[in-house]
Amino acid sequence: MLQRTFSIIKPDAVRNGYTGAILAEIDRAGFRIVAIRKQSISGPQAEGFYHVHKERPFFGDLCVFMSSGPLVLLVLEKDNAIADLRKLMGATNPANAEEGTIRKRFAGSIQENAIHGSDGEDTAAFEIGYWFAAYELI
């Protein structure tokens, strides 16, 4: 089933010069880029995006990190996009990520882990709508 998911190339990966390599991996895995935008985000914007994590101990640090520099917002489409992107990303902690995954190759720590991907259909819908207007999703 053709499905859309939301992804972010996080500030660590952009800072380290991995944007092109990560986009190439996404392309090679068969995703269509529906929308793409490089920008910086504010602390409050990060807090709204990650509101489901607001009780977790790392929430503050995570939002500071996500607003620490430019990132790349993406809407991606393919069959089974949500699960397939999660597989391509690898485990949250790059130390536990499988060989060949984006986090294994490009991430440095459990927080600065190179890429975000929606974890379910409801989350994907919220996350796409949080960053992109309908007219941008072509």
Active site residues: 116
Residue nearer to ligand GDP on the CB measure, 58 or 136: 58
Cβ atoms 66, 11 nearer than 8 A: yes
CB of 112 vs ligand GDP, minimal distance in Å: 7
CB of 138 vs ligand GDP, minimal distance in Å: 27
CA count, 13 A, side-chain hemisphere, 66:
23
Interacting span for ligand GDP (CB under 6 A) from 14-22, 70-78, 112-120, 125-133: 112-120
24, 39, 54, 61: which one binds ligand GDP (CB under 6 A): 61
Residue 130 touching ligand GDP (CB under 6 A)? no
CA distances from 130 to 16, 36, 135 (A): 26, 14, 13
Q: How far apart are CA 82 and CA 127, in angstroms?
A: 12
13, 71, 113, 132: which one binds ligand GDP (CB under 6 A): 113
Q: Residue 94: which residues within 8 A CB-CB, separation 6 or more?
A: 103, 104, 107, 108, 109, 110, 113, 114
Task: List the 2-9 sheet strands across, edge first.
Answer: 32-39, 71-79, 2-9, 115-117
16, 19, 111, 123: which one binds ligand GDP (CB under 6 A): 111
CB of 134 vs ligand GDP, minimal distance in Å: 25
65-104 residues near ligand GDP, rule: CB under 6 A:
92
Reduce the DSSP state of residue 3 to 3 states and report it: strand
Question: By the criterion CB under 6 A, which residues form the site for ligand GDP?
Answer: 53, 58, 61-62, 92, 110-111, 113, 116, 119
